Chain A
Amino acid sequence: MTDPILRIENVSKRFTRMPGLAERLVGKVTGGGKPVVVHALSDVSLNVAPGEVVGIVGESGCGKSTLGRVVTGIYAPSDGRVTLHGKPIARERGGNIDKLTTQVQMIHQDPFASLNPRMKVGETLAEGPRHHCIIPAGEVRARMRELLEKVGLEGAYADRLPHQFSGGQRQRVAIARALAMEPDLLVLDEAVASLDVSIQAQVLNLFMDLRRDLGLTALFISHDLSVVRHVCDRVAIMYLGRLVELAPADQLYAEPKHPYTSALFASVPTVGTGRRVFEAIKGEIPSPINPPSGCAFHPRCPLAGPRCRVEVPRLTDAGPARTVACHLNDGGVGLQDAAA
């Protein structure tokens, strides 16, 4: 197997909120007033090979967007490291933020927020390459037109402002802006979530075409299981800051191994005729400020045993190229299984 472009090794990310003065004063009496720590990512490891598209799936608060931001260098990891081509990414010692932004590009959910409303889209597209001297100044305009055509817009649109475009067109502009930097890795964070179904299909087709033509490598972050299945080679399922299952897309959808993955699939409405009973997951997503002990999914898991309450499951092999973090795949859920 080829060397991975991106290595995420045991990455954790914690956000700490220091208590205010009033809280500290009250805390002196009540014994509270301690810093609040949110465990957004806990011990996440993942490699991405060149030309691979890896889906990151989970519900809100699972840390999928935080992972995307750590990879793009927006956040520095609290523990662990992320390397691109073997070199640590920004905000770590020896990292180079300037270099990184040319190598990793992000596409955001809302193209209404991610494009500068006062800048002509041609300018928006040219800003990055110009700053980093990726293309000679004389060729910028021609290159911008070429990029716009590549994402299915007319070259002449370079002189328009974002408000003159529809949502789908804006998302095409956002994709063109990311491609303008000729990145090694794309991070798409819910990039089609805000689009209408008919427009979503257009943008997904564009992404698949570009991927084929340019050999893109990407992290595709989404809550939409059917979209992820359609465009990703491998899929990582996250729950409350941890990676719980990682598998090639076809295998994961054919046979999910983690109880959370199965439950997630069961609760997604599918298009079909006839009334369906929703097999909903019981309970709520716990708070990442106070995650449950042991396996974070145990309070909602139909298969949980005593071991799940005390021991955090490790990612273990579950067949070729797939791993799962569940005690069922690692001895069993009983307490005596832990010793074995």
Chain B
Amino acid sequence: MTAALEVKGLTTRFDTRGGAVTAVNDVSFTVEKGRILGLVGESGSGKSVTGFSIMGLIDAPGEVRAGQVLVDGSDLRGLSDEDMRKMRGSKVAMVFQDPMMTLNPVLRVGDQMAMAVRVHRKMSKNAALEEARKALETVGIPSPAERLKAYPHQLSGGMRQRVAIAMALLHSPSVIIADEATTALDVSIQGQILAEVRELADNTGAAIVWITHDLAVVSSLADDICVMYAGRIVERGTAAQVIGQPRHPYTKGLLESIPALHEPGTPLPQIPGSTPQLSRLPQGCPFRPRCPRATEICAKTPPEDTVDGQTVLCHHPLERS
């Protein structure tokens, strides 16, 4: 069976005044139908650029330099702008952090949703509105028919994000990419939406890439997890593997610095230093200056993927206990 989404060797580079910056470096992963992949990383790790690269939304001075993005087996890269536009929204859809960036503030929810339906499918406006109503229902919006007549400013933040998710669902896309989609929401609303996203994946069979900085969110939501650092995936495996037994020192450091896992008041284990600037990456392994396990080889040779249960990009992965 072909996977819903297969990313192979994706590399995205930005040519800036300060030199070329490789924001996404040889990234590969697979998401099967109905699965949720959590893409985790700190700011500047390249997780959002990965999402944008898949969607074909990288503008100059950025450019996707290499790799394949296979959706249901066919490569999105190399499509003309026109063909790519046909794919966006129908085969691959994206949900952003701020729903007000997605929604047009001067159009009624129903009108803009109907527009999104009719871009890809020939149907009457009333039929399109009916599609929109169904989509709103799927994401748990109460009295969806009335919400169609509302303007975005009349909805709460949680409702707006639900509308944005509903718009992504309109054409039953094979792949949905959500970039920090619940980060701006309150925990009680985030809880509601995460529960709905899980159901969506199970019921519609969409493959979901959930991009976030929040390990707690992915550990309870995702089936598989990729951890990114300085543009590369440093660890990849099932949620149970990555959270239960992290093998990369960075993943372990991230997990250990979460306060909830420690006795209150005790010093938190911390990763020293700060995330490196992509334009000035150290030679060898980019994590080396902050890594407690680093040796000479880490300073010279970039590590390669080691597969042992999960995939780890490290010269000295942590042993399995």
Residues on A close to B: CB < 8 A?
59-60, 166-169, 196-202, 204-205, 208-209, 223, 225-227, 229-231, 249-250, 263-264, 266-282, 284-285
Complex: chain B residue closest to A202, CB-CB: B270
Instruction: Give CA–CA (A121, B216) in the complex, Å.
Output: 35
Interface stretch among B23-31, B109-117, B238-246, B297-305?
A: B238-246
**A278, B215: Cβ atoms closer than 8 Å:** no
**A205, B186: Cβ atoms closer than 8 Å:** no
Instruction: Give CA–CA (A187, B269) in the complex, Å.
Output: 25
Question: Can you name 13 A-B residue pairings with CB atoms under 8 Å?
Answer: A196-B213, A201-B257, A223-B186, A226-B258, A263-B188, A264-B188, A267-B191, A267-B192, A270-B220, A271-B215, A271-B216, A273-B240, A285-B189
Query: What 0/1 pattern do residues 207 to 239 of B give for CB contact below 8 A with A?
Result: 000000111110111010000000000000001
Q: Out of B194, B223, B244, name the residue touching A278 (CB < 8 Å).
A: B194
CB contacts (< 8 Å) of A279 on chain B: these are 191
Which residues from 125 to 176 on chain B have a C-beta closer than 8 Å to any C-beta of chain A? 156-159
Where chain B touches its partner, the secondary structure class is helix
**A284, B158: Cβ atoms closer than 8 Å:** yes
> Is the C-beta of B253 less than 8 angstroms from some C-beta in chain A?
yes
**B265, A208: Cβ atoms closer than 8 Å:** yes
Query: What 0/1 pattern do residues 24 to 46 of B give for CB contact below 8 A with A?
Result: 00000000000000000011000
**B220, A229: Cβ atoms closer than 8 Å:** no
**A199, B258: Cβ atoms closer than 8 Å:** no
CB B273 to nearest CB in A, in angstroms, measures: 9
**B220, A230: Cβ atoms closer than 8 Å:** no
Q: Out of A198, A226, A266, A267, name the residue touching B260 (CB < 8 Å).
A: A226
**B261, A201: Cβ atoms closer than 8 Å:** no
Complex: chain B residue closest to A282, CB-CB: B192
Instruction: Give CA–CA (A282, B190) in the complex, Å.
Output: 11
> How many inter-chain contacts with C-beta < 8 Å in the A-B complex?
140
Q: A199-B274, A201-B271, A270-B260 are in contact. Are A59 and B243 (CB under 8 A)?
A: no
Complex: chain A residue closest to B258, CB-CB: A271
Q: Out of B191, B195, B219, name the residue touching A272 (CB < 8 Å).
A: B219
CB A53 to nearest CB in B, in angstroms, measures: 10
> Is the C-beta of B86 less than 8 angstroms from some C-beta in chain A?
no
Q: A267-B187, A273-B240, A280-B192 are in contact. Are A229 and B254 (CB under 8 A)?
A: no
Query: What 0/1 pattern do residues 172 to 211 of B give for CB contact below 8 A with A?
Result: 0000000000000011111110110010000000000000
**Residue from A264, A268, A277 whose CB has the most chain B CB atoms within 10 Å:** A268
Q: A227-B259, A271-B255, A277-B195 are in contact. Are A201 and B268 (CB under 8 A)?
A: yes
CB contacts (< 8 Å) of B157 on chain A: these are 60
CB contacts (< 8 Å) of B243 on chain A: these are 271-273
Q: Out of B187, B217, B239, B269, name the residue touching A264 (CB < 8 Å).
A: B187
**A281, B188: Cβ atoms closer than 8 Å:** yes
> Is the C-beta of B65 less than 8 angstroms from some C-beta in chain A?
no
CB B86 to nearest CB in A, in angstroms, measures: 35
CB B231 to nearest CB in A, in angstroms, measures: 16
CB A198 to nearest CB in B, in angstroms, measures: 4
CB B134 to nearest CB in A, in angstroms, measures: 22
CB contacts (< 8 Å) of A272 on chain B: these are 219-220, 243
**B194, A230: Cβ atoms closer than 8 Å:** no
Complex: chain B residue closest to A212, CB-CB: B265
CB contacts (< 8 Å) of B270 on chain A: these are 198, 201-202, 205
Q: Top 5 A-B pairs ranked by shortest CB distance?
A: A267-B191, A201-B257, A226-B260, A230-B259, A280-B191
**A205, B268: Cβ atoms closer than 8 Å:** yes
Instruction: Give CA–CA (A308, B219) in the complex, Å.
Output: 37
Instruction: Give CA–CA (A198, B254) in the complex, Å.
Output: 6
Which residues from 60 to 85 on chain B have a C-beta closer than 8 Å to any C-beta of chain A? none
Q: A273-B243, A280-B191, A280-B195 are in contact. Are A168 and B274 (CB under 8 A)?
A: yes
Q: A197-B254, A270-B220, A278-B192 are in contact. Are A230 and B240 (CB under 8 A)?
A: no
Q: A168-B274, A197-B254 are in contact. Are A271 and B219 (CB under 8 A)?
A: yes
CB contacts (< 8 Å) of A166 on chain B: these are 274-275
Which residues from 82 to 98 on chain B have a C-beta closer than 8 Å to any C-beta of chain A? none
**B187, A197: Cβ atoms closer than 8 Å:** no
